[in-house]
Each structure stands twice: as C-alpha cells, then as structure tokens.
Amino acid sequence: MPLDREPEIDKKERLEVMRHSAAHVMAEAVQSIFPDARFGIGPSIENGFYYDFELPRSLTPDDLPSIEAKMGEIIALNAGFIREEMTKEKARRLLAAQPYKLELIDEIPDETVSLYRQGSFVDLCRGPHVTAAGEIKAFKLLNIAGAYWRGDEHRPMLQRIYGVAFDTEEALSEHLLWLEEIKKRDHRKLGRELEIFIFDDEVGPGLPLWLPNGGIIIEEIEKLAKETELKHGYVRVRTPHLAKEDLFKRSGHLPYYAESMYPPMEIEGVRYYVKPMNCPMHHKIFASKTRSYRDLPLRIAEYGTCYRYEKSGELLGLMRVRSMQMNDSHIYCSETQFGQEFAAVVFLYLEYFKIFDIKEYYMRLSTHHPSGLGKKYVNNSAMWLKTEDMVRRAMDSNNIPYREAVDEAAFYGPKIDVQVKSAIGQEYTLATNQVDFAQAESFDLKFANEKGQEERPLIIHRAPLSTHERLVGFLLEHYGGAFPVWLAPVQVTVIPVADRHLDYARKLEAGLSSEGVRVKVDARSERMSLKIRQAQLDKVPYMLVVGDKEVATATVSVRLRSGEQLPAQSLASFEETVRTVIADKARDLK
C-alpha cells in the first residue's frame, strides 16, 4: 500500500540517500531513451552512484550527455518518490519484463516487498529516498563500464553507468578536479607512459609483462628486501612454480582455496598445480632435517612467483593480477617466541613505510567466524580462539593500534592486514602477517625442545612488501610516477645542447655510470627544450644540460624534474649529491 511520506532520514545519511535517488532518476532517464531496457541494481557508492543495465546496444561516452539532459528534465518535474509495499506475487506481475528484478524478488525471504515509484519509473528497492526528485542537486555522469550480473563471470555482462552527486555545484566542481588528478595518477596510465609494464591479450588477462624500466624498479625493491631481511636474520630459498596435487591437499589449499587455483595439468598420470602460495614448499624445507629449539626462530624468505585464478571482472591493472611475485616468508617459532616474532614483522612494515613515505594506513586483525568452520576455515575452534588472542596480546603489548574484522581470516589462521589508501583514494591490502596453526600438524613439522621433547612450531606467514605487482602499482599512484631517486629507472639524463657537446655528455655518462648511477644521454637531433620536456614527462629526477660553458669549465648545469634550476657545479660535486640521495633513499631531491 502507498505510504504518504518517506521515513525521517538522519542528516548525515542524506547525501547517500540523494545519490541513491539519483541512480533511480538515471534509470528512469535510460528507460525513456531505451524503453526495452532491463535493469540490474543501482546503489549509492562513495561520492556517487551507478546502475547496471541490459540494453539493445552498447553505450558510448557520447550517450552520457543525452542521459544527463533527460535526468535534468526529470528533476525539474520534481516528481515525488512514492514507496509501496506489496506481495511478492504482485511485484512479480508488475516487474514481469525485468528478469533481474524477478531473480532478486525470489531471493527475498519476506512475503512482502517494497517498490518505489517516481514519475513513470518503478523499481524494486528497500529505500530510503529523497521526498522528491527536485532535491537532487549537483550531479554528473562519468563513464560506462562492463559488469557481470551479480559479479559472476558466467552470468550476463551488463552495462554500468557511473555518476557522482553532491549537495552543491561547488562541491561537484572540486570533486571533478580531484578526478582529473586521479586520472593523471592512475597506475595503468602511468605504467604505459613510463614504460613500466604492459598486458597483452595473447599472453592472457592478469599476466603482466615487465618492461626494462619495470624490471629496474623490481630489482631495487627486491634488493631492499634482501638487505633488510638479511639484517633481521632471514635465510633465502627458491622453490618451483608447480607441485603435485597431493601437496596442496595436504596443505589444505585443496579444497579451501581451490576456487582461486588454476585447474590441474596431468603428466604421466600425475596431476600438478601451479602454486597459489609458497607455503607448502617452505614447510617441506623446514621438514627436510631434524630441528631443535636452537634452530628457532627459523625465518625462510623467498620472492616466489605464484598464480591465482582471479575472476576476469575482478582484475584491476597491477592491483589484482593472476601472476604475482610475492615478498614471502615463513617464520617457524615456539609459542614463547611468537609474540616477539609477530610484533617484529609489524615493526618491519613500519620500517618499510618510512622508506616509501606511506602515512595513510591502519592495521586490521582479521578473525574467523564460527559458522565457517570446516567450510571456509580449518575446523579447530580452540586454536582459532587461542591464536586470535595471541595476536591481540602481541599487538597490545607493543602498543600497536588495530581494528578487528570478523570473517576475514585466512583459512588456516588469523592475520593482521595492513590497509593503505592510495593517492587516488583506493584502499588496498599492502602487507599481511598471518598465523598458521594448521600446517605444522598437516606436514608433521616438529622440533625438539629444551627437554628433548617434540613440539609443533607455530608458523607466521608474512609479506610486508605485498607482491611486486601490487606494490609497484601502489607506488606509481603514490608518487604520481615521480619515483624517488633510488627507485627511478633513469636517475639522470644528460642533455647536450648541440652535437659538438656530445663527447662531453658521453664522458659524464661514463663517469656517473661507473658510480652506479642509472644515466642516459639524449643524443637526438632535437631542440634542447624538447629534450628537457621529454625528461620531465619521463619523470627523470635530474637533467644535466651541457653546452659550451659547461664544456669549457668542466661543470654541469642541473635541472630538477620540477623545473627548478640548480647552480652550476662540478661533476664530482653532483656525483656526491646523487650518491647521498640514493644511499639515504631520500624522497626529496637535494
């Protein structure tokens, strides 16, 4: 039955409600242009809204202005949002031409459902909405994307229109300017422009190809990790990319993790899987010899390549891939060593974050949910409760703040995930510190304690630098492509003003290269200003411009990628500056 007015809405929720209402208005506009449209869902999201449609043709960006204009007409009519409650059977008859809505109706457990009318448009919806369309203020449609129905790649691909909405035109304008900055920092765009990585359809989705510049960045990150881990007592190993099926059954990846694994391959009657994680291999290394308490803690580290079958619709540049090189390690320790070892990993995060100038993050303790035992999680309630408490005590005793998230644990134990926010506002898990209480028993891992008795070690699975893929993608956005000098693929570009200065430029290149500086000479027959412009586009930290004066005085004229010009100086002085900046891993140029 119709309700006269919308229930009262809390003030802080009004913007979200307005955005959801804008999604309905957009759907009405689309229906007026495409009468046979079929509708998916249209929720509000951060800063805006979207709606999914099945339409008779593919939309293009040229369609957005006409949909926007139609929305403007609907808003001007100021039709009210009217809520109706009815039986599911009546709703099915009313929405008989909308198969996606019928599917949603069938899943609602109640006998009655609510719908909303505004103007000629009716939609299945719980609400709430604004009182009338005229309350929708400043909005803009942004882009069109594909979206599988219910996020399932085996279901139909719908067309999703994204929009933003704010309560003032000023707020909308500010947001649109911010979106322009986001576009500039998108790691996929920067990755192409700076020749860091590519994807190729013939290779396969989610399988990045690292170009030479990307290879340099990876080598520098891996060098940092190796030096740091050596300092913290880690030993390095290497393991194969695939293993027999039985290994993953023993580890629990089959069946708990099977959906994220590539299908097996059969060779000589034996089934093999490419590894989704390095864990089982490391456990085999631990078990390769008799261990005693004197061997613990044993910290095994590897940059191993793993493969996970992520759904096509969930792939996102380097942030969500199918092939990944993981900064992986397993720490085997006694129960009395656990708190110190677990906290040491967290402090290792902070050590890295200081280097990369990462300031926006929080620690999240991901715990199990009792309903998932035996399905999503290893069926051992006592160990879940015990290890979750151990993690809390390790964090609390070291005054490390964290939040808790139920039902987000790994299948074999609780974990601390470090959530970071990129420069474009996306939140990612960049580091993880996981407890594994199941594998020691599965692999019969043991050590002799001080009394000569056998004990099971506790296992800490940690990845403080995530994967090369996610970390590089994050850093591209974090730095806007302008990597600190130690990470920059090219650290110095030497720019001769004319061909007669080329020999001097080559001499400078040789001198810097011998000091371990990554340097190149721009020997193209182009104007100096164009060469400087190109170096700035390439985000090269230093440009050495050399002409007659520099050749005569054996000096260099230094420009920064910001455009700042430094005083002329000797090559020796410049070399010392660069060496210091690289050694200090300094963010800012000196």
Q: What is the structure's pLDDT at 8?
A: 47
Q: What is the pLDDT of residue 530?
A: 94
Whether 298 and 446 map to the same domain: the answer is yes
Same structural domain, 503 and 453? no
Output the DSSP codes for 108-135: --SSEEEEEEETTEEEE------SBGGG
- What is the band of 590 on the pLDDT scale with cuts at 50, 70, 90? low
| Residue 123: CATH number of its domain | 3.30.980.10
Residue 238: predicted pLDDT? 95
Residues 6+ apart with CB under 8 A from 64: 141, 142, 143, 144, 161
Give the mean pLDDT of 380-409: 92
- Residues 432, 330 within the same domain: yes
d(CA 248, CA 283): 12
Q: pLDDT, tens digit, for every residue of 192-248?
A: 999 999 999 999 999 999 999 999 999 999 999 999 999 999 999 999 999 999 999
Residue 2 forms part of a structural domain: no
Closest among 100, 191, 76, 183 to 425, alpha carbons compared: 183
Kindly state whether residues 125 and 149 are assigned to the same domain.
Answer: yes
pLDDT score, position 12: 55
In this structure, the answer to whether residues 470 and 498 fall within a common structural domain is no
Domain of 532 in residue numbering reads as 492-584
Residue 180 lies in a domain: no
Q: Determine contact, residues 284/237, Cβ cutoff 8 Å.
A: no
Q: Check whether residue 143 and residue 255 sit in a common domain.
A: no
**How does residue 312 score in pLDDT terms, banded at 50, 70 and 90?**
confident
204: domain CATH number is: 3.30.930.10
Q: Is 380 a member of any domain?
A: no
> For the CA atoms of 168, 175, 78, 25, what is the dihedral angle to 10 degrees?
-170
Average pLDDT over residues 568-581: 92
- pLDDT above 90: percentage of residues in the chain: 81
Same domain, 272 and 349: yes
Task: Tell me if 31 sits within 8 A of 37, measured CB to CB.
Answer: yes
- Are 339 and 428 found together in one domain? yes
Task: Count up the domains in the chain and report the number.
Answer: 3
Average pLDDT, the chain: 92
Q: How far is CA 291 from CA 286, 295, 298, 450, 523, in A?
A: 8, 6, 10, 12, 60
pLDDT higher than threshold 80 for residue 11: no
Is 79 contained in some domain?
A: yes
Alpha-carbon dihedral angle through residues 205, 210, 211, 212, given to the nearest 10 degrees: 180
DSSP one-letter string for 389-447: HHHHHHHHHTT---EEEET-SBTTB-EEEEEEE-TTS-EEEEEEEEEESSHHHHTT--E
| Confidence class for position 255, pLDDT limits 50, 70, 90 | confident
For the stretch 133-143, pLDDT in tens is: 999 989 999 99
**Is omega for the bond preceding 264 within 30 degrees of 0, making it cis?**
no
d(CA 218, CA 483) in angstroms, rounded, equals 13
What are 341-356's pLDDT values in tens digits? Answer: 999 999 999 999 999 9
Element holding 219 (H helix, E strand): helix 212-231
Residues 245 and 129 in one domain: no
Residues 395-401: what's their mean pLDDT?
94
Is the pLDDT at 5 greater than 70? The verdict is no
Token representation of residue 499: 């061909």
Structure tokens at 60: 């293009």
What does the pLDDT average to over 321-346? 95
Return the pLDDT at 378: 83
- Report yes or no on 241 lying in a domain: yes
Q: Residue 553: give its domain's CATH number.
A: 3.40.50.800
Q: Cα–Cα distance between 390 and 398 in angstroms, integer?
A: 12
What pLDDT is stored for residue 477 in this prediction?
Answer: 93
pLDDT digits (tens, 9 = 90+) for 521-566: 999 988 989 999 999 999 999 999 999 999 999 999 999 998 899 9
Same domain, yes or no, for 222 and 270? yes
Residues 449-466, mean pLDDT to the nearest whole number: 94
What pLDDT score does 1 carry? 35
472-519 tens-digit pLDDT: 999 999 999 999 999 999 999 999 999 999 999 999 999 999 999 999
Helix, strand, or coil (residue 164): strand
Identify whether the C-beta of residue 376 lies closer than 8 Å to the C-beta of residue 410. no
Domain co-membership, 346 together with 258: yes
In a domain, residue 314? The reply is yes
Residue range 36-40: mean pLDDT, rounded: 95
Residues 464 and 330 occupy one common structural domain: yes
Residue identified by tokens 């380097």 is 318
Burial label for 243, CB within 10 Å (0-12, 13-18, 19+), is middle
pLDDT of residue 422: 79
The residue-averaged pLDDT of 73-80 equals 94
Q: Is residue 398 assigned to a domain?
A: no
Q: Does residue 589 belong to any structural domain of this protein?
A: no
Percent of the chain with pLDDT over 70: 97
Phi-psi region of 509 (alpha: psi -120 to 50; beta: other; left: phi over 0): alpha
Joined together, the tokens standing for residue 130 give: 């604004």
| Phi and psi, residue 432, nearest 5° | -145, 150
Query: Domain end: 126, 152, 169, which one?
Result: 169
Is 4's pLDDT higher than 50?
A: no
364-378 per-position pLDDT tens digit: 999 998 888 877 888
Is the pLDDT at 290 greater than 90? The verdict is yes
